[in-house]
Amino acid sequence: MSMKVGIIINPVAGPAWRRMSPTQVETSTRAVVEHHAADAWVVYSKGPGHAHDLAHEAMAQGAHVVVAWGGDGTVNEVASAVLYGRAVLGIVPVGSGNGLARELGIPADLDDALNVALGGDERSLDVGEVNGRLFFNVAGIGFDAHVAERFANAPMAVRGLTAYAAATLGELFHYVPPRCTVRTGDTVLEDGKALFIAIANTRQWGSGARVAPKALMDDDRLDLVFVGARHPVTVAANLWRLFWGDISDLGGVGHHLVERATIHADPAAPVHVDGEPMGHHETITIAVRSRALRVRVPARR
């Protein structure tokens, strides 16, 4: 029996120069699909949440592999649907940051990535949960979520690391950090004004920006990184540490490994999951689901 594959494409993911027409997609995928003797079909998402629905439809049609062709937001929607199901997740990374794909070593080349999705090894990853929403890479509370909110509302043509960096610097001098109290059970881990709190399943937001350099994707825990409020000039002067150093070298940065935690923000703080805004919340509960997602990764040599 041939392998059944559903390929779900977000046609507006990532920089405009990387987007492909349906004809280009068909040409690009045909050889790879034939090489793996797969029975594959391609569908396009039409807006937020649609990729999740399409993934459910693919599984209902008996898909063994469901491929998310897009950025971390598309991966989040598809992965949330295949969780605990019979299908395994494949990733073709064409987004702005592609944090999860980078951490898994999935190549940026489209043909190579599709080959991994159809013929790579399987790996089981932890999954994070924030107020009932699942995430697979990094969730955040505070400034990073504020920027994600602004970025999500930017014109579709404005994508990529340069645009994100510009949005970050533009908002840095206007953002007012909330006071956040972080607890696990009765223990207070952090209490103070937070520039942001990253809840990391992997090391990076995307584009190589490592917010939690020691994070592991299958250690049954999440890395909670608390970055205290500081002057915007200090923040701007230390952004390089995300790419070349370790932000924990800065003062006012707390790092905790947690299975569950509760965060109270005053006032309500913006929250994102895998770069997708999910509104402002006063109480944020986080938890880990141990090794709940199966994903295709490059084969070991």
Q: List pLDDT tens digits, range 250-296.
A: 788 999 999 999 999 999 999 999 989 999 999 999 999 999 999 99
Taking the C-alpha atoms of residue 220 and residue 222, their distance in angstroms, rounded to an integer, is 7
- For 18, the 3-state DSSP assignment is helix
Give me the pLDDT at residue 208, please: 83
Per-residue pLDDT at 235 exceeds 70: yes
Question: 161: pLDDT confidence band, cut at 50, 70 and 90?
Answer: low
Peptide bond into 267 cis (omega under 30): yes
CB distance 238 to 246 below 8 Å: no
What phi, psi does 166 have (nearest 5°)?
-65, -40
Per-residue pLDDT at 210 exceeds 50: yes
Top-confidence residue, 248 or 82: 82
CB distance 242 to 230 below 8 Å: no
Give me the pLDDT at residue 158, please: 52
If one counts every other C-beta atom within 10 angstroms of the C-beta of residue 52, the result is: 18
Q: What is the mean pLDDT of the chain?
A: 91
Q: Kindly report, as residue ranges, where domains of CATH 2.60.200.40 are found in the chain.
A: 133-290
Taking the C-alpha atoms of residue 40 and residue 118, their distance in angstroms, rounded to an integer, is 10
Per-residue pLDDT at 201 exceeds 50: yes
Question: 37: pLDDT confidence band, cut at 50, 70 and 90?
Answer: very high
Per-residue pLDDT at 239 exceeds 60: yes
In this prediction the pTM is 0.90
Taking the C-alpha atoms of residue 59 and residue 64, their distance in angstroms, rounded to an integer, is 7
Least confident window among 60-64, 181-185, 232-236: 232-236
Give me the pLDDT at residue 157, please: 46
Question: 237: pLDDT confidence band, cut at 50, 70 and 90?
Answer: confident
Structure tokens at 65: 């592999």
Residues 4-119, CATH architecture:
3-Layer(aba) Sandwich (3.40)
Q: Kindly report, as residue ranges, where domains of CATH 3.40.50.10330 are found in the chain.
A: 4-119
Taking the C-alpha atoms of residue 215 and residue 32, their distance in angstroms, rounded to an integer, is 33
DSSP 272-291: EETTEEEEEEEEEEEEEEEE
Question: 95: pLDDT confidence band, cut at 50, 70 and 90?
Answer: confident
Q: List pLDDT tens digits, range 111-142.
A: 999 999 999 999 999 999 999 999 999 999 99
If one counts every other C-beta atom within 10 angstroms of the C-beta of residue 132, the result is: 8
Q: What residues contact 85, with CB distance under 8 A and at least 6 apart?
A: 59
CB distance 90 to 192 below 8 Å: no
For the segment 174-200, the average pLDDT, to the nearest whole number, is: 96
Residues 133-290, CATH architecture:
Sandwich (2.60)
The residue count of the chain comes to 301
Taking the C-alpha atoms of residue 59 and residue 69, their distance in angstroms, rounded to an integer, is 16
- Most confidently modeled of 2-16, 64-78, 143-157, 161-175? 64-78
**What is the distance, to the nearest Å, from the Cα of residue 278 to the centroid of all Cα atoms in its chain?**
13
Give me the pLDDT at residue 13, please: 85
What phi, psi does 200 have (nearest 5°)?
-110, 130
Taking the C-alpha atoms of residue 184 and residue 258, their distance in angstroms, rounded to an integer, is 8
